[in-house]
Amino acid sequence: MAYAHHPLLFSHDWFQLHPQWLARLKKCGPAFGLATLLATAALFIWMIYAASNILLQGDEAVAALADELLVHTGISGYIPPRFQLQEIQANTR
């Protein structure tokens, strides 16, 4: 009947009843720890890179909007094609 009572996972008897698991954990534990550390570092680096890209995309959008406003106000002397017909038909007297 000794097998009927199985200790809980976090009891002290567990290590004595499962020596193969303990040996496997000691063998693979450092590799899993290092892999977790590298994955966490890669995630943090990716998050920082993504945050910097958001700021760059915002700067590019503002620059594009400023260029478009300069075109529509006529500062550069260029009239977009959608307004050329209106310019031709306009009464200039």
Q: What pLDDT band is residue 85 in, cutting at 50, 70 and 90?
A: confident
3-state secondary structure at position 5: coil
Write the CB contacts of 66 (distance below 8 Å, at least 6 apart in sequence): none
- CA 59 to CA 39: how far, in whole Å? 31
What is the tens place of the pLDDT at every residue in 21-31? 889 889 999 99
pLDDT in tens, 2-17: 555 665 666 667 777 7
> What confidence tens digit (pLDDT) does each residue in 25-75 have?
899 999 999 999 999 999 999 998 888 777 777 778 887 777 776 655 545
* Sign of the alpha-carbon dihedral angle for 40, 23, 11, 2: positive
% residues pLDDT > 70 (the chain): 70
